[in-house]
Structure 1
Amino acid sequence: MVPIDTPTLGDRSYLAHDGSVALVVDPQRDIDRVLALADEAGVRIAHVFETHIHNDYLTGGLALAEATGAAYHVNAADEVSYARTPISDGDVVEVSPSLRVRAIATPGHTFTHLSYALESVSDDGIEAVGVFTGGSLLFGATGRPDLLGHEHTSDLVHHQFSSAHRLADELPEHTHVLPTHGFGSFCSAGSTGDTTASTIGAEKRQNPALTQDEEKWVADTLAGLDAYPAYYAHMAPGNSTGPSAPDLSTPESADKETLATRIASGEWVVDLRTRTAFAAGHVTGTLNFGVDGQFATYLGWIIPWGTPLTLLGESPEQVAEAQRELVRIGIDHLEGAATGSPQDWTDAPLGSFERAVFADLAQVRHHREVSVLDVRRTSEFDEAHISGAVNVPLHELLDRVDEVPSGEVWVHCAGGYRASIAASVLAARGVHVVAVDDSFDEGAKPSGLPIAAA
């Protein structure tokens, strides 16, 4: 069994095989990664399974099945507009004489969610060796129950509790738990921590869904639900119609004049370099979404859907990496791209802004009046924040930019990545901004800054 990680979206896909025949679960849209792994292992992909109609990325399942001739297993109850091999609770798919997959209904993340027990077949009998749990049972958590709309959340959260218990009751404790979400994905309800592997037995001991009573778990889960990326609204419809294989061909090159025109007309020109490089010098009016962080998650969350997009990168490889991230969430068309350095992208004076740490902010406040803008989510702000800070979550900044204080603004988040995005948005509007590139948990309180809670 080979996990295929997509860390910027917080997801995993899986390739499992017996040395000859393979199955794939919840593939991302860039299926070339899967095909390369199968080729490396010398196996034939015969089956592709979807645990659910995904809300956080466009699937590569249909394209992979078409490319390989594999059977494409999607819940018979899902309304989709493409041909699939319908599968339902209790169905068994014989992958090979030694390997089979059994479908287990686990509603909660969606109403039609399925988990798949991976079972080995031998003369000694049938044994569950792993279970692909999608957005059902995660490492120390579960998938969130609110992505289908507020009116369904109450029903789904109770289904999620029951599904976790069904898996725990039906599968041996040694069974490996193999979730799709839970590695930073906003599809998780509750923290999955840094865990990278688990079993049914371990989850019985540590997962609140299996250690708390239903009433308490439901209340805690609902209370902990937070904002999720706006682009999610486009994913389930796209997955129901069947995404095609992505076009990853090189974008058209954009010269200095073209870039200037696009920026002046309000198009998005995004600088993919690190926040350190961007702060030191950038084309005025560009926005910084470093490809070294959760690039697709935050760009997809913030960009007005359909806005023309041009990428700036240090190298063609950096642009290609960003392009790959974007097609996973359905941003297929780029107006163009340019590579090199800011001096290659404009003849105008470069923009820049200061970077600092929380200790610098503490010192500055003794000498002059500055404003503090906290762009973390409201739940993070409520837990603890710098006294007097203004909270405008990053994903709301474009709509609430008029709430940003005038004068010198020090902007921070939890670690620096979101702060740089926000700083680039404000700098493009002429705000005197300083980006705090520091850990809030490790830097704010020790600096002596006054910390409050809601």
Structure 2
Amino acid sequence: MPTSTPMRPHELGRRLDVGEWVFDVRDPRSFAEEHLYGTVNVTVPQLTHLVGVLPAGAPFSVIGGTAHELDEALDRLAVLGLTPRETAVGRPADLGPALATYPRVTFRDLVRARRETNSRQDPAGRGWDDEPVRRAVVVDARDAAEYARGHLRGAVHAPLRPGTSMIREGLPGRIRRPLRKTLPLPTAGTRLWVHCADGTRASVAAGLLERAGHEVAWLDDDLETACRDGVLRLTSLF
């Protein structure tokens, strides 16, 4: 069984403050409901995304909701040849003070938000969730072949796979140069709606973008089903 050093809560906060990687291996829905700001949600099956994405020698730590989750993560990381600097187990509220959350939404919610963003009929500028209307920018975390076959018009392509990850460095805000030209700057008036094919890769991407300072919404939905049901229409590069 791989071993690592248990991390005290104040040390976890310090590592996040200086921009070190801290990966939360809980399920994506629990992460969306509550997590430590600056952590990135990478479930045990998704840990393979870290190979080729983490800079060589970059220190990282892992936290899990239970000891069993953490043990599974350590076993998977050992197979991948990766060893975390430190680990922690517990609820986010018990591990640090900088709690964060982001909405878990569907493609129907996205269509609704885009419509209301465009109309802005309410003089107060408030939207369907009784919050100020935000410009909805779609971020597509699928690979290049998936994106080429069909994507939402205007979507920013941010593939989440080794070698083309949206973030290569371990410091918040350092987004790869091609995306810096297409993503809006982090502002209170813009929310990034992050999707993939079924929500799994999008959960990782949402955490990465939040870490870089963006306001995000995680599309926990099936793209193919939404298209088949007439919720969405895709455009193609071909």
Are positions 1:376 and 2:142 aligned together?
Answer: yes
Match of 2:172 in 1: none
In proportion to residue count, which structure has more strand? 1
The CA deviation string for residues 273-302 of structure 1, in whole angstroms up to 9 with x for no partner, is 0110111110111111012xx322212242
Cα displacement string for residues 3-44 of structure 1 (whole angstroms, at most 9, x for unaligned residues): xxxxxxxxxxxxxxxxxxxxxxxxxxxxxxxxxxxxxxxxxx
Structure with higher RCO (Cα < 8 A, 6+ apart)? 2
Assess, with a 3 A threshold, how the Cα gap between structure 1 residues 347 and 296 changes in structure 2: closer, same or farther: closer
TM-score, structure 1 as length reference: 0.43
In structure 2, the partner of 1:264 is: 17
Give 5+ residue unaligned stretches, structure 1: 1-247
Letter matched to residue 355 of structure 1: R
Larger Rg: 1
Cα contact 1:310–1:336 (8 A) shared by 2: yes
Q: 2:156 aligns with which of 386, 390, 395?
A: 390
2:31 corresponds to 1:278: yes
Matched, 1:357 2:106: yes
Give the one of 80, 86, 89 matched to 1:336: 86
Is the contact between residue 358 and residue 444 of structure 1 (CA under 8 Å) also seen in structure 2? no
TM-score for the superposition, normalised by structure 2? 0.80
Paired with 2:88 and 2:235, the residues of 1 have a C-alpha distance of 44
CA distance in 2, matches of 1:249, 1:290: 18
- Residues 106 and 219, structure 2, Cα contact 8 Å, conserved in 1: yes
* Separation of aligned partners in 1, 2:56 and 2:223: 31
Report SS of the residue matched to 1:312: strand
What is the one-letter code of the residue matched to 1:320? Answer: D
Q: 1:448 aligns with which of 222, 231, 234?
A: 231
How far the C-alpha of 1:258 sits from its partner, in A, is: 0.7
Q: In the TM superposition, what is the alpha-carbon distance from 1:432 to its structure 2 partner?
A: 1.1
Residue matched to 2:72:
321
Q: 1:405-420 residue pairs with structure 2 within 5 A? A: 405-406=184-185, 407-420=190-203
Contact between 1:362 and 1:447, CA under 8 Å: does it hold in 2? no
Do the aligned partners of 2:210 and 2:216 also contact (CA within 8 Å) in 1?
yes
Q: Which amino acid aligns with 1:305?
A: A
Q: Which residue of 2 aligns with 1:308?
A: 59
Change (3 A) 1:269 1:388: same
Alpha-carbon offset, residue 354 of structure 1: 0.6
Distance 2:116 2:41 in 1: 30
| 1:253 matched residue in structure 2 | 6
Q: 1:404 aligns with which of 165, 179, 183?
A: 183
Displacement of 1:334: 1.8
Give the count of matched residue pairs: 203
**Deviation, structure 1 residue 447:** 4.5
The amino acid across from 1:370 in the alignment is A
Query: Counterpart of 1:411 in 2: which secondary structure?
Result: strand
Post-superposition Cα deviations, 1:70-103, rounded to whole Å, max 9, x if no partner, equal xxxxxxxxxxxxxxxxxxxxxxxxxxxxxxxxxx
Aligned to 2:146, the other structure's residue is in SS state helix
In the TM superposition, residue 445 of structure 1 has moved relative to its aligned partner by 4.8
**Structure 2 CA distance for partners of 1:445 and 1:386, relative to 1, 3 Å:** farther
What's the secondary structure of 1:337's corresponding residue?
A: strand
CA distance in 2, matches of 1:388, 1:316: 42
**Does the CA-based 8 Å contact 1:358-1:447 persist in structure 2?**
no
Instruction: Choose from 366, 370, 374 the match for 2:115.
Output: 366
Q: Deviations over 1:205-231 (max 9, x none)?
A: xxxxxxxxxxxxxxxxxxxxxxxxxxx
Match of 2:131 in 1: none
CA distance in 2, matches of 1:336, 1:439: 35
Alignment RMSD: 1.6
SS at structure 2 position matched to 1:302: coil
Cα distance in structure 2, aligned partners of 1:249 and 1:421: 24
**Distance in 1 between residues matched to 2:18 and 2:227, nearest whole Å:** 39
Tell me the CA shift for residue 382 of structure 1: 0.3
Whole-angstrom distance in 2 between the partners of 1:390 and 1:445: 22
Conservation of the 8 A alpha-carbon contact between 1:311 and 1:336? yes
Deviation string 1:101-150 (CA, Å, 9 cap, x unpaired) is: xxxxxxxxxxxxxxxxxxxxxxxxxxxxxxxxxxxxxxxxxxxxxxxxxx
Distance 1:438 1:301, change over 3 A: farther
CA shift digits 1:165-207 (9 cap, x unpaired): xxxxxxxxxxxxxxxxxxxxxxxxxxxxxxxxxxxxxxxxxxx
Query: What is the distance in 2 between the residues matched to 1:447 and 1:363?
Result: 14
SS of equivalent to 2:51: helix
| Percent pairwise identity | 33
Shift of 1:359: 1.2
Contact map agreement 1:282 1:352 (CA 8 A) in 2: yes
SS at match of 2:70: helix
User: What is the one-letter code of the residue matched to 1:259?
Assistant: L
Higher mean displacement: 399-408 or 378-387: 399-408
